[in-house]
Amino acid sequence: VPMGVLSCVKYLMFIFNVLVFAGGTCLAGVGVWVAADPAGFQDIVAAKAVLSAGAYLLLAVGIALALLGFLGCCGALRRSRPLLLV
């Protein structure tokens, strides 16, 4: 495999993982926002229990995606196979 192809794949994987990290960070931010100020979202979701559970679910999924994206970025830069498999 030519070296240029491997370099291109490395940078594409890095960019994809940065996007996953950014999306996870945004989801976690929305989860914190909904958990901290549920009054603004009362019109969208009628039940308070559903709103609270949804906020914590967004927070957990966002943190998991941000961690996954960060580990993927580290794996892409270091060409570490175990980090990329996570």
Q: What is the pLDDT of residues 16-28, one digit of tens each?
A: 999 999 999 999 9
CA geometry: angle at 45 spanning 42 and 46, to 5°?
A: 80
pTM for the full predicted model: 0.80
Q: pLDDT for 3-47, tens place per residue?
A: 888 888 888 999 999 999 999 999 999 888 888 877 776 666 656
CA geometry: angle at 48 spanning 21 and 31, to 5°?
A: 10
Token pair belonging to 21 = 């990290």
CA geometry: angle at 79 spanning 67 and 81, to 5°?
A: 70
- Residue in 27, 16, 13 with CA at minimum distance from that of residue 81: 13
- Are 35 and 55 a contacting pair, CB within 8 Å? yes
